[in-house]
Amino acid sequence: DAGVTQSPTHLIKTRGQQVTLRCSPKSGHDTVSWYQQALGQGPQFIFQYYEEEERQRGNFPDRFSGHQFPNYSSELNVNALLLGDSALYLCASSVPRGDYGYTFGSGTRLTVV
Amino acid sequence: GEDVEQSLFLSVREGDSSVINCTYTDSSSTYLYWYKQEPGAGLQLLTYIFSNMDMKQDQRLTVLLNKKDKHLSLRIADTQTGDSAIYFCAESMEGNNRLAFGKGNQVVVIP
């Protein structure tokens, strides 16, 4: 049973560019959340998708957007990249009332130069 | 709002017990979690406790919750070298599926 898979594992982008990160949830999970983890910090909630809609959003600018597809997979898009966007981006999947059922992927390491 | 605080570093000898502490500020937290992150990896859920419980034991792991002081701790018995990692506590609230994480505790196990 595959867990949460994320792609790519590593990515280097130039300031001002746009990036798309991808996530496939664990089998049986239909809710996807994205987190940003800066070096030496805990993960910070970006947003959550359920039924192809953004249900909750953290304190992130509109440059961060997402999408969820009918098969529950999800994309995170970041426009106009800043050096400060360099981080590990983690995807977590759960069932809608997943108070204890979050499963995290291994993340995508984004470096903005 | 959500605010989770953790101390930063713990060194422990193999076979000893480790205790990691966490303080949270939101009394409406429903679930509290401990996650483990090994180098270059994502987060692995170790255990969780519902906010109406005081203690939960799961093999080598014991979670203690002091709701009055908003203090959560994780005790790892018989610490092994494979327990070397960063440990995050996190909280979530009723009707709000997002997790608020602390900054993490790095645990280094000395053989």
- Tens of pLDDT, residue by residue over A49-64, are 999 999 999 999 999 9
Q: What is the pLDDT of residues B24-67, one digit of tens each?
A: 877 777 788 999 999 888 899 999 898 888 999 999 999 999 98
In angstroms, rounded to a whole number, what is the distance separating the alpha carbons of residues B5 and B15? 27
Question: In chain B, which residues have their Cβ closer than 8 Å to the Cβ of A94?
Answer: 97
Question: In chain A, which residues have their Cβ closer than 8 Å to the Cβ of B88?
Answer: 42-43
Average pLDDT of span B75-103: 89
Tokens describing residue B40: 């270059």
Does the beta-carbon distance from B104 to A42 stay under 8 Å?
Answer: yes
Alpha carbon A20 to its chain centroid, in Å, reads 10
Question: In chain B, which residues have their Cβ closer than 8 Å to the Cβ of A33?
Answer: 97-99
State the smallest CA–CA distance between residue B28 and chain A in angstroms: 14
In angstroms, rounded to a whole number, what is the distance separating the alpha carbons of residues B4 and A54? 25
Q: Does residue A112 surpass a pLDDT of 90?
A: yes
User: Which residues from B are below 8 Å from A when comparing CB atoms?
Assistant: 4, 6, 30-31, 33, 35, 40-45, 48, 88, 90, 92, 96-104
Contacts A–B by Cβ distance under 8 A = 63
Helix (H, G, I), strand (E, B) or coil at A85: helix
CB A85 within 8 A of CB A54: no
Q: What is the pLDDT of residues A28-41, one digit of tens each?
A: 899 999 999 999 89
User: Which residues from A are below 8 Å from B when comparing CB atoms?
Assistant: 4, 31, 33, 35, 40-45, 48, 55-56, 58, 90, 92, 94, 96-100, 102-107
State the smallest CA–CA distance between residue B79 and chain A in angstroms: 23
At B1 the pLDDT is 43
- Please give the backbone phi and psi of residue A36, each rounded to the nearest 5 degrees, phi first: -110, 130
CB A58 within 8 A of CB A48: no
Average pLDDT, chain A: 93
Chain A interface, mutation test: which of B97, B101, B106, most A Cβ atoms within 10 Å?
Answer: B97
> Would strands B105-110 and A74-78 be described as parallel, antiparallel, or unpaired?
unpaired
In angstroms, rounded to a whole number, what is the distance separating the alpha carbons of residues A90 and A21? 10
State the smallest CA–CA distance between residue B99 and chain A in angstroms: 7
State the smallest CA–CA distance between residue A19 and chain B in angstroms: 20
* Other C-beta atoms lying within 10 Å of the C-beta of residue B26: 15
Average pLDDT, chain B: 88
**Percentage with pLDDT > 70 across chain A:** 93
Q: Does residue B97 surpass a pLDDT of 80?
A: no
* CA-based torsion, B46, B51, B57, B58: positive or negative: negative
Alpha carbon B22 to its chain centroid, in Å, reads 7
